[in-house]
Amino acid sequence: MKSMTGFTHHALSGNRLQGTITLKSYNNRFLDIAISLPPSISGIEPRVRDFLGSRISRGKIECTIHVRKIEASLDDIVFHAQLAQVLAGQLRGLARECGIDEKLSLDTITRFPGIIEMNSENDELSVWESIMPSLEEAWREFEESRLREGLATQSNIMREMERLKSKLSEIETQADALEKIVSDQITTRFKDLLAENYDQGRVLQEVAVQLVRLTINEEIERLKAHFSAFESIAAQATCGKKLDFLCQEMNREVNTIGSKSMIVSISHAVVEMKDALENIREQLRNVE
């Protein structure tokens, strides 16, 4: 079980790049990925999006990459030698026209725009290969934070599940008493209406009909099956949606038991179960 909330702030140290990677995530019903990159490496955004999207199923995740330094190589420097030669010739001609007898220096030539340029277009693949190892390390740290919080959430949820089981056991012990109440009420009603001349067969027939309508044994068995499925699914890393759907099914069964109950203690147990289910569903909103 993983939490949808997590955080990590990791140093980015690639072959040519230095900076930081920050990953943050929040609760969200669906997957929402927000990526913030400096313009110099914006070309790798689709790769970062694919990286994150293949590792998370739902939640809002923010990935911010800051680059403090991009180390230059010789390939990043472009020298326009032919332009420099033309410029030097023009400057010498201008100096003669003006009667200036001064030696032309390389520093003077390189001050002119366009003679030496820095290639600002970083190769997308090389940048990605430089960032990828640090991003993978950041993701491992991020996953660890989500797993830690997920374990704490799982512990709380399982505590509420034990509460559900306990209350269901209380209800199950009184299921036979509920059937007896139905039988006694129908028998009493016939006696009141027909005095001593009532048909015992008709009473048994009516009791059978009402027991089919009011018995809670089927709901109890379905809840037991739901509890077993819940514990099995909760062991998976990504389980939030499935468990939420299962909670809806459990809540339906509990409501049915409540609507059939004629015993105060069963009604009280139903209230406790509905409260436990609501607590579980609240915590499942933070589970991926």
The answer on 99 and 10 residing in a single domain is: no
Q: Are 166 and 35 contained in the same domain? A: no
Most confident residue range from 62-76, 91-105, 144-158, 213-227: 144-158
Is residue 23 within 8 Å of 62, Cβ to Cβ? yes
Q: Are residues 44 and 64 in the same domain?
A: yes
Return the C-alpha torsion angle 37, 26, 148, 227, nearest 10.
-140
pLDDT attached to residue 76 = 58
Residues 166 and 99 in one domain: no
Q: How far is CA 240 from the centre of its chain?
A: 8
Residue found under tokens 């399982």: 158
CA distance 33 to 26: 11
In a domain, 1, yes or no: no
Q: Supply the pLDDT for residue 10.
A: 94
The per-residue pLDDT for 286 is: 92
33 within some domain: yes
Q: What is the pLDDT of residues 82-96, one digit of tens each?
A: 888 888 888 888 888
Question: Whole-angstrom Cα distance, residue 238 to residue 2?
Answer: 7
List alpha helices for the chain, DSSP H.
45-53, 81-97, 106-110, 124-173, 175-194, 200-214, 217-234, 240-260, 264-284
Question: What's the average model confidence in pLDDT over 50-60?
Answer: 94
Residue 10 β-bridge partners: 21
Residues 117, 78 contacting (CB under 8 angstroms) = yes
Same domain, 228 and 103: no
Whether 169 and 215 share a structural domain = yes
Distances from the Cα of 267 to the Cα of 170, 179, 217, 225, angstroms? 11, 15, 15, 21
Q: Are residues 55 and 134 in the same domain?
A: yes
- Residue 119 is predicted with a pLDDT of 57
Statement: residue 160 has pLDDT above 60:
yes
In angstroms, rounded to a whole number, what is the distance separating the alpha carbons of residues 73 and 126?
13
Please indicate, yes or no, whether residues 155 and 264 belong to a single structural domain of this protein: yes
**pLDDT for the residue 170:** 92
pLDDT at 34 exceeding the cut of 90:
yes
Q: Please report, for the domain that includes residue 279, its CATH number.
A: 1.20.120
pLDDT of residue 191: 61
* Residues 141, 190 within the same domain: no
User: Among 105-109, 115-119, 131-135, 264-268, where is mean pLDDT lowest?
Assistant: 115-119
Which has more pLDDT, 58 or 125? 58
Residue pair 37/44 in contact (Cβ under 8 Å)? The answer is yes
For residue range 194-240, what is the model confidence (pLDDT) as tens digits?
555 556 666 566 656 665 566 788 899 999 999 999 999 998 888 99
Q: Are 136 and 254 members of one domain?
A: no
Quote the pLDDT of residue 287.
93
Residues 156, 259 within the same domain: yes
pLDDT of residue 205: 67
Q: How far apart are CA 203 and CA 47, in angstroms?
A: 74
What value does the mean pLDDT of the chain take?
85
Q: Are 67 and 21 in contact (CB under 8 A)?
A: no
17 within domain boundaries: yes
Let me know if residue 76 belongs to a domain: no
Residue 63 in this model has a pLDDT that exceeds 90: yes
Q: How many CB atoms lie within 10 A of CB 138?
A: 22
As a whole number, mean pLDDT of residues 2-31 equals 90
Q: Is residue 61 part of a domain?
A: yes
Instruction: Answer yes or no: is 270 within a domain.
Output: yes
Is residue 141 domain-shared with residue 256, that is, in the same domain? no
- Domain span holding position 28: 6-71+124-146
Residues 54, 16: contact at Cβ < 8 Å? no
Average pLDDT over residues 255-272: 89
Residue 87: per-residue pLDDT: 85
pLDDT at 201: 66
Tell me the torsion sign for CA atoms 106, 109, 110, 116: negative
Q: Are 142 and 8 in contact (CB under 8 A)?
A: yes
More confident residue, 64 or 99: 64
Instruction: State the CATH number of the domain containing residue 59.
Output: 3.30.230
Mean pLDDT throughout 235-260? 92
**Total of domains in the chain:** 3
